[in-house]
Structure 1
Amino acid sequence: MSFQVHHDMTAPLSHYFIYTGHNSYLTGNQLSSDCSEVPIVKALQRGVRVIELDLWPGSSKDEILVLHGRTLTTPVPLIKCLKSIRDYAFSSSPYPVIITLEDHLRPDLQSKVAEMVTQTFGGMLYYPESDSLVQFPSPESLKHRIIISTKPPKEYLESNGIKQKGALSPGGRNSSEEDEEASGIPDHTAELEADDRSNSDQDDADLTDCDNKSGQLGAPAYKRLITIHAGKPKGQLKDALKVAVDKVRRLSLSEQELEKAATTNGTDVVRFTQNNILRIYPKGTRITSSNYKPLVGWMHGAQMIAFNMQGYGKSLWLMHGMFRANGGCGYLKKPDFLMEKGPNNEVFDPKIKLAVTKTLKVKVYLGDGWRLDFSHTHFDSYSPPDFYTKVYIVGAPADAAKKKTKIIEDNWSPAWNQEFTFPLTVPELALLRIEVREYDMSEKDDFGGQTCLPVSDLRPGIRSVPLHDKKGEKLKNVRLLVGFQFV
């Protein structure tokens, strides 16, 4: 694989898949884990470029906290998160960091956020001259810059009813994306932008003249800092995906909404994502911080597939693998077919059956290093391990495949020497997932390491491939010798 940035980085942001975190401040599950700046730092060090913060008012007058509302998660001060982003934003990549805010604040506290953001980031902060952008800037032009994405305050006030008296405390009721996540109740397609939904209590319905004035003062400074406006779609899915001629925006859909959109309005989603940004987030029932299959979003051009980076599992391995491409910089240029338009303005249809354009041959030669990274009784108490390797292609549905080597018994350094062939219709989005297991006759086979590699960045030849543990951390010594060939 190439460890250099080699994609064209001068196109608008909407032309890229962007490494995106969800509830980036959580250390564990969605209901009761601590909120902290530590997972934010870890994500940035891994190359994640989109950090999500949920903002709530604290108990004292000017206090602003980051937490997962209406749950038992313990809060962390916003200023702590902002300083961590400032200090670690470009520790692994020079390309822009986008902070998506889910905002539950009164206008005077929004003004306070504007002040904190401006003072903390200084010259690192980018915001546009005009009120709304006709086209997003490029990653290249935004190197070492931090940008904000949220709803403009005016839309926030309108969506909450003009007479709302500020926002509610975490124990109150102010429906949002967090409502779904905390309750696990599926969302409704008619109300697509979860960030924009509201169901405020009657008790909060009297906005005084004084509050109005503070809103007038607070809103402009906050609004001015927003580069990527979160949209406010109303009505049906098709209407939400309409492309405006004079401005670009961001839309958020849950994983279930995306699946529905892919079934009924696939080409509308592709068309929308050519100029606008689509963010997908996990459904509310994923309280253990698990993740979903990212390929549906990528096949439809969705730039921000928001993942629980503190989570676990095979979906997260795929995310890690995808963003190893392009030097691990966190931005991947979307394949041309997702950006092209035909003579009659037609766009790529993810449902059509495509021809094979490339064939990948993978030869698994041998493996070594387990003896150094695992205790001698880790796999078997009385004999050396019995390793085998599973090789998968994950990508377009037509490309999905699974192969397996033979089991080599009683050997710490197994040699398989087996070759597998994978015909590919969409090699640009194909991921090669490799997992080593140790055969166990009486129990579940033991895990011996895994990796996931973007097929687009594979270099032909025989390569030493390091394996990772279940959390995605690289094992010190375990490696496979693998041959790659394109025909």
Structure 2
Amino acid sequence: MSRQSFKVCFCFRRIFKLRVLEPPEEVKILFDQYSQNGTMSLDNLRGFLVEFQGEYNATRDDAQAIFNSLKHLNIFSRRGLHLEAFFRYLLGDLNGPLSPSRVVHHDMTQPLAHYFLYTGHNSYLTGNQLSSDSSVEPIIKALRRGVRVIELDLWPGSKKDEVEVRHGGTLTNPVDLLKCLNAIKDNAFQASEYPVVITFEDHLPANLQDQVAEMVTKTFGDMLYRPETDQLREFPSPESLKKKVMISTKPPKEYLETPSSKSTKRSKISSKKEQWNGETASKSDSEICDKDDEDEGESLQEEDEQMTVPEYRHLISINAGKPKGALQNWLSIDEKKVRRLSLSEQELENATRRHGVDIIRFTQRNLLRVYPKGTRITSSNYNPFVGWAHGAQMVAFNMQGYGKHLWVMQGMFKANGGCGYVKKPDFLLSNEVFDPSVRLPVKKILKVTIYMGEGWDLDFRRTHFDMYSPPDFFVKVRRLMALCLLQV
């Protein structure tokens, strides 16, 4: 039993008795199995790692690293670990939920569409979506954490003769495109050697596309992946694309519209609900604007492609866009070519109600990118499992955000050595297309036992949470829809 006092109003003190919990009985029994005379030696600890933890490649050096991490504590003994030190190790960072191995162990020779990619949204923003600064720093941080898909919004500068990166229609400050490209080049493969995809949301006229083509070519040189044909029949594998940078975008529409296409825009917008066959949920105006921006920027029109600068078009290795028509057209599959489709989180939720099987079938060969809805102005995020469960490879997140959904995303991509690519489970790639709406029998029940929530005082000051009292912690257990067959 220990005490902590907190000063109140300069004159008074509040004293709290803190009960230090002992290791649970299960931990005591486990310690006795792998210790001698109350001490766990280096060899005993290695035996525990191999036999109980399943870390079959653990060495004496790994056990020594655990010893070294506890040396600064008074509970450490040179002869080995006592019960309290062993318990502290179990609660520490060296005993994470995933294997400590940083080795890539998934099959990386399959087409790109067979993997989930660690994907960012508006990767240049430092804060909220309306008024924050644009900078290369968020891009650098994301790449060093293993993010493999970087999004840049390209707009003409104020003088219409230069390209800048900014969130259009907002108060965000721009950043120079060349700075962003150089930041990507310098940091692309520090965390992972597997390919980086740059998605351009392109709002440029043809003359500025020519500038972009020149900048991209000069910046990346041999790092840039250039497909032999304008339309790939199948995406290459991550293994074959090591240390390569890929460009994914579409011809811009707003500068390439013909008079006839402009005259049809109103009828196109008015038919939005028809495209969903009556499935569209009510949306706020800001959400509709965000959706329309994506649609307008990603419309596949052959006449637009022909007007695009040739050098710029040849940079594109992942063609993006939505075919004309309804949802069924968006999810259509062409055996002669593959492409990328973008849907907002709300569009995806609406589509999954009746077209879940079609989405999974589409993502077996093509790429699906999901992005946050327009009302997430604070750079919050959404539940990524909806996209993953339907095979969406690029579930785009605001990496500068915060919260449980981002933690789930970060945890997901600690798998497979943290390389930024996680192989899809087999049921999402099977010829017999998985139907997510069908209730299946339970194959395995996982039981989780929570022993305690102590240890906050090791990482935080006494007054970090409250100036006048210690924190009151509680445990919340959530059941998340998981990809049970995912190998981590």
Equivalent residue, structure 2, for 1:282: 372
Q: CA deviation at 1:358?
A: 2.1
Contact 1:15–1:334 under 8 Å retained in 2: yes
Q: CA deviation at 1:194?
A: 4.8
Cα distance in 1 between the residues matched to 2:372 and 2:284: 12
> Deviation per CA, 1:186-245, whole angstroms, max 9, x where unpaired?
2699998452369xxxxxxxxxxxxx9xx9896110000100000232111011101001
Contact 1:21–1:50 under 8 Å retained in 2: yes
Equivalent residue, structure 1, for 2:484: 427
Contact 1:45–1:92 under 8 Å retained in 2: yes
Structure 1 residues 218 and 62: CA distance shift in structure 2, 3 A: farther
> Deviation per CA, 1:59-117, whole angstroms, max 9, x where unpaired?
34541100001111110000000000000111111110000001111111101100000
Secondary structure in 2 aligned to 1:265? helix
Cα distance in 1 between the residues matched to 2:373 and 2:468: 45
Contact 1:30–1:182 under 8 Å retained in 2: no
Equivalent residue, structure 2, for 1:271: 361
2:20 corresponds to 1:20: no
Equivalent residue, structure 2, for 1:360: 446
Equivalent residue, structure 1, for 2:47: none
Structure 1 residues 308 and 257: CA distance shift in structure 2, 3 A: same
Equivalent residue, structure 2, for 1:44: 143
Equivalent residue, structure 2, for 1:161: 258
Cα distance in 2 between the residues matched to 1:91 and 1:340: 34
Cα distance in 2 between the residues matched to 1:218 and 1:87: 29
Q: CA deviation at 1:318?
A: 1.3
> 1:29 is aligned with what amino acid?
N
Secondary structure in 2 aligned to 1:280? strand
One of 266, 273, 298 as aligned partner of 1:196: 298
* TM-score, normalising length: structure 1: 0.70
> Deviation per CA, 1:452-475, whole angstroms, max 9, x where unpaired?
xxxx43xxxxxxxxxxxxxxxxxx
One of 305, 326, 335 as aligned partner of 2:416: 326
2:338 corresponds to 1:248: yes
Q: CA deviation at 1:363?
A: 2.9
Q: CA deviation at 1:161?
A: 2.5
Q: Where does 1:75-94 land on structure 2 (aligned, <5 Å)?
A: 75-94=174-193
Cα distance in 1 between the residues matched to 2:443 and 2:352: 24
Equivalent residue, structure 2, for 1:390: 476
Structure 1 residues 309 and 192: CA distance shift in structure 2, 3 A: closer
Secondary structure in 1 aligned to 2:449? strand
Q: Where does 1:81-120 land on structure 2 (aligned, <5 Å)?
A: 81-120=180-219
2:122 corresponds to 1:122: no
RMSD: 2.8
Equivalent residue, structure 2, for 1:340: 430
Secondary structure in 2 aligned to 1:70? coil
Equivalent residue, structure 1, for 2:231: 132
Q: Percent identity?
A: 62
* TM-score, normalising length: structure 2: 0.70
Structure 1 residues 351 and 371: CA distance shift in structure 2, 3 A: same
Contact 2:338–2:366 under 8 Å retained in 1: yes
Equivalent residue, structure 1, for 2:152: 53
Equivalent residue, structure 1, for 2:396: 306
> Deviation per CA, 1:141-176, whole angstroms, max 9, x where unpaired?
1111100000146x7765x327999xxxxxxxxxxx
> Deviation per CA, 1:350-373, whole angstroms, max 9, x where unpaired?
101112222223233445542232
Equivalent residue, structure 2, for 1:184: 286
Cα distance in 1 between the residues matched to 2:356 and 2:339: 19
One of 224, 229, 253 as aligned partner of 2:319: 229
2:405 corresponds to 1:315: yes
Which moved further from structure 2: 373-382 or 25-34?
373-382
Contact 2:146–2:419 under 8 Å retained in 1: yes
Contact 1:289–1:308 under 8 Å retained in 2: yes
> 2:443 is aligned with what amino acid?
T
Contact 1:358–1:427 under 8 Å retained in 2: no
Unaligned runs of 5+ in 1: 166-180, 199-211, 397-425, 430-455, 458-487
> 1:104 is aligned with what amino acid?
H
Q: CA deviation at 1:33?
A: 0.6
Secondary structure in 2 aligned to 1:110? helix
Secondary structure in 1 aligned to 2:485? helix
Question: Of Structure 1 and Structure 2, which has the larger fraction of its residues in strand?
Answer: 1
> Deviation per CA, 1:245-300, whole angstroms, max 9, x where unpaired?
10000001111110111002111101000000001111111111111111111111
Cα distance in 2 between the residues matched to 1:428 and 1:363: 22
Structure 1 residues 151 and 389: CA distance shift in structure 2, 3 A: same
Cα distance in 1 between the residues matched to 2:470 and 2:258: 68
> Deviation per CA, 1:20-46, whole angstroms, max 9, x where unpaired?
111111111111111111111111111
One of 143, 147, 165 as aligned partner of 2:246: 147
> 1:93 is aligned with what amino acid?
S
Contact 1:16–1:334 under 8 Å retained in 2: yes
Cα distance in 1 between the residues matched to 2:331 and 2:342: 11
Q: Where does 1:454-469 land on structure 2 (aligned, <5 Å)?
A: 456-457=487-488
Would you say how many aligned residue pairs link Structure 1 and Structure 2?
366
Cα distance in 2 between the residues matched to 1:188 and 1:51: 19
Q: CA deviation at 1:382?
A: 6.2
> 1:161 is aligned with what amino acid?
T
Equivalent residue, structure 2, for 1:439: none
Question: Of Structure 1 and Structure 2, which has the larger fraction of its residues in helix?
Answer: 2
Cα distance in 1 between the residues matched to 2:328 and 2:146: 34
